[in-house]
Structure 1
């Protein structure tokens, strides 16, 4: 604001020249200045009142919105939070496809001591040693009589242990409430659950974090409050998983195997309804990882995805299917099986002498290495490699557990023609049983690639085409004949028309070469073969059937009976009713008289 002089000299001189009173000019300027000051003060007051009014409107709006939100929300009991407990410990549940609980949180307590508040350290140390056998009274007493003001004793204790510590009655022994991860089914689906542990810890709270399996893979989702604690829904079926584990455990013992794994997959959605790896563990008391020796000896080792093996003759159906897709053969094409097949200094032989020629269908039925290798020669290295890559056999699977990323297939350093021939019947390329399940699912569903998943799906999840429908139809008939007339005769289950392929591969030595008396036995099956719904893979590590006088290690004697028993148990649980397999009428002609 520009201040005008009260007695401007020019006007004063002019007024005196006219004979007017100069004081009138001063009084007039004082009046004008006061009016300006009054107008400015009024404008400032009006602005302040407007701002204050807006503040009250916004404040009452927020209060009203909060009251409306509380009025429409579900009522709940108030929970008092411990001062300073800023560690977020909430974690969503994990359930199976039917909503049955697989993992949840359990409220427990931690135990700690404050030595300055203790009355009788000796009695407290002796009492704790009786309650917790893994603690030493001497070590506790040394800590209690030191200058330390805080001592962790147990990160989590049971209600019974808490009551026993209460009974000691020492005020220096204190408790802090916290959550722990609980797996109510114990060992069931342990390798899928993986397990959880504590991250950041405080006296009254602890950060629960996943350490393996789906717990670690979906750790961000399970810990995110924005999900509203919505449970993570898996594709597993708890009853099917329990039956599969029981059968596989019994089969592993009966066949004297070192380890075993099985995978049951829906061929259209890729959902894994059951996956078992033995030996197993209890995720409630997860053992420490092995620091030496063979990793596969540890119960933490997940054979379904981490175990990469030469899966033997189960690969033959892929070779035959590719040859038929390329127009190089059909089920009735005769192939030279006279042996041995020579390639340089190497010899490829069959388990038995099957004659000089076999049809392609008989090559699968009899499991001829020579016949499969000759088809692979016609296919060629480049086409074989491109086909296996398209099928997903050359990269780790995207199965949603952290261990799956470590199961990368072992490829030959030099993919020569010899490698092409041996890979055609499952040697020279090591993959996981999960890879094999995905490959057989493509054959069973009509030729479309399927991605294995542990998450519940709303419907089919089919990928690109890898086989023609005509090829897969012919391949399924061959797999069925393997069971009815071939190497998997023990795999037939009345009412479920099982089709499949056996595979027996010599187990490699760590230092190179192969064991003469140790094998990996696998049976890859589909059922029902005339209207496929599921793929089942059963793999046994170092099995040997000692029931007869001569030990038997081949898959037909070891893995196949176990798979058949598993199908017999789980098929009714899957809602499959036994049915009569349709019979094709052949060599019948209609004549009219």
Structure 2
């Protein structure tokens, strides 16, 4: 930078020559220099003020724009989720094994209010109470005239209700779109599906989450949380909607006809474990799921799933397991004679049969005639240790895993001391309580060649064969015995021509609450079996709670008069639906004599 001298010689010398004062020239240069410095400082200050003004303008513009956006938007209900959380409103459909819809989503609306925008809040509250009778007009009026800026009115309304609210003409009443879970078949498969409801909610969307049954157990899969690619793909169940409808109809009619308190039925593929039908009555509509009971017996509620939660003594249905174990161990064969002379004394207890079957029966006859004494004698050769191990292998000591949250509640009730007496009573169905699902799994292993199956509500691509629990030979012998129970024994009314039904009846006195002994006139009537027995495809279990057959002179409660006829009608109607062709036995040949003229 070049600085100009305050006393330049070029001006000082001429000024001295003229007799002028050189200091005047210096003062003039100082003045001009100061003016130049002041001008530069002023320009710098003006530039800084301009930049500061522009910064303030930009800041106020940003704040104003954000305020405008917020003013134009609709407020959302405060929620506990983080501000960055996104509401996942989608949920995959559920279909049966043939692709028919069991559960889907339906676009609907929520109703909320901006009280500050209302023209006549009193009238709005009165009209809303008329449209929705369960709402309190005075409470709504207090909310609308108070300090609230946002009020939920209804989280779900029908198209008709939306139109009625729209006709009120109140600008402060607004609608938000959302999806709700719809079960188009109503009560059909209600216990399997369970139900769904709203979780995290906003004005324009709501999280649909499972609340019970399969919807809750597979909530992550249905919401795409485990794999986002699964969200748009329907979940295919093993259920057959047509079979489910038939079982529900027949079981419901049988329940009413026999004055039963409740009923349950399971049809399961004997080789894959796929459950084709599961019904529990009484039931409910998952579109309007009732609240869980707060008092009384759980089984009194329609929410109670008797098929997987109903833990009862199964009665003589259990007799097939000690016989199968004895056959497998080589202790007996189907023709081995068993002492059935009664009563049989066990400590201070006596085991008796329903009627006197004579001094001895073959092992096959023990099953056909359902002898308690014969079964207990066979079990005495096996012993409690081996019995417990065998029942554990079949799954009778733990809840059966299934794609339902309620399945974990089906925990069997076991004896405190598993000694000889408990072993004997368990062998003929008393002293150990389990669910109909336990019976279905056990019977599948008895008739499918001896392989344990894992029950499932999902349609599989290929059968999953479990561990072998009995040999093919033992399984063949068991099938013959179960078939004879239907043709000659206590389940004659279960026979369906062409389908070779086999199975075992079981009638167990019901336990009083809190261990108060047994009821004299209340039973659980069960039938467990399979069809067709020449090549078992399906296992069926039917259970009736406190049935009474009153067509005769005396009331009859045994399974042969109650559960068996219901099972027969179910098989007669569903077997063709399952693709099973009836096997017609050939008629006896007729000898022909050729006549001569």
Give the TM-score category using the shorter length.
0.7 to 0.9
Partner SS for 2:438: helix
Name 1:63's counterpart in structure 2: none
Shift of residue 142, structure 1, vs aligned partner: 1.9
Query: Contact 2:195–2:287 at 8 Å: present in 1 too?
Result: yes
Q: Is 1:381 the equivalent of 2:387?
A: no
**What TM-score, normalized to structure 1?**
0.83
Pick from 559, 566, 580 the counterpart of residue 562 of structure 1.
566
Q: Tell me, yes or no, if structure 1 residue 337 matches structure 2 residue 350.
A: no
1:471 matched to which residue of 2?
A: 474
Instruction: For residues 125-163 of structure 1, give each alpha carbon's deviation from its aligned partner in whole angstroms, at most 9, with x where no partner exists.
Output: 121111111112222212211111111110100111000
Query: Aligned partners of 2:240, 2:104: CA distance in 1, in Å?
Result: 17
> Are 2:534 and 1:530 equivalent residues in the alignment?
yes
- Is 1:234 the counterpart of 2:237? The answer is yes
What CA distance in whole angstroms lies between the structure 1 residues aligned with 2:524 and 2:232? 43
Q: Deviations over 1:516-544 (max 9, x none)?
A: 00000000011011111000100000111
Instruction: Give the aligned partner of residue 297 of structure 2.
Output: 294
Could you tell me how far 1:416 is from its partner in structure 2?
A: 0.9
Q: 1:422 to 1:235 in 2, by over 3 A?
A: same
Contact 1:497–1:581 (Cα < 8 Å) also in 2: no
**1:176-575, aligned counterparts within 5 Å?**
176-224=176-224, 225-512=228-515, 513-575=517-579
The answer to whether the aligner puts 1:158 opposite 2:158 as a matched pair is: yes
CA distance in 1, matches of 2:456, 2:356: 42
Gaps of 5+ in 2: 1-72, 77-84, 589-597
In the aligned structure 1, how far is the partner of 2:569 from the partner of 2:506? 18
Distance 1:350 1:212 in 2: 43
Q: Matches of 2:461 and 2:89 in 1, distance apart?
A: 31
For 1:581 and 1:239, the matched residues in 2 are separated by 28
| C-alpha contact (below 8 Å) 1:330/1:360 kept by paired residues | yes
Give unpaired runs (5+ residues) of structure 1.
1-80, 585-593
Aligned to 2:127: 127
Q: Is the 8 A contact 1:222 1:229 kept in 2?
A: no
Who is 1:76 aligned against? none
Deviation per CA, 1:201-244, whole angstroms, max 9, x where unpaired?
11111111001111001000111133242111100000000011
Q: How does 1:103-114 map to 2 (within 5 A)?
A: 103-114=103-114
CA deviation after TM superposition for structure 1 residue 82, in Å:
9.2
Instruction: Answer yes or no: is the 8 Å Cα contact 2:91–2:231 preserved in 1.
Output: no
Provide the aligned length of Structure 1 versus Structure 2: 504
Structure 1 position 581, deviation (Å) = 5.1
* Secondary structure of the corresponding residue to residue 110 of structure 2: strand
- 1-structure distance, mates of 2:260, 2:87: 46
1:95 and 2:99 matched: no
Give the corresponding residue for 2:50.
none
C-alpha distance in 1, partners of 2:127/2:566? 51
Displacement of 1:294 = 0.2
Larger mean CA deviation between 390-399 and 550-559 belongs to 390-399
In 1, are the aligned partners of 2:344 and 2:352 still within 8 Å (CA)?
Answer: yes
3-state SS of the aligned residue for 1:462? coil
- Report the alpha carbon displacement of residue 582 of structure 1 after superposing the two structures with TM: 8.3
Tell me by how many angstroms 1:83 deviates: 9.8
Q: CA deviation at 1:324?
A: 0.6
Partners of 1:442 and 1:466 within 8 A in 2: yes
Note the C-alpha offset of 1:295: 0.4
C-alpha change, 1:395 and 1:87, in structure 2 (3 Å) is same
Alpha-carbon separation, structure 1, partners of 2:489 and 2:151: 68
Question: 2:223, 2:231 within 8 Å by CA — same for their partners in 1?
Answer: no
- Deviation, 1:193, is 0.4
Moved over 4 A (4+): 81-85, 581-584
Larger radius of gyration: 2
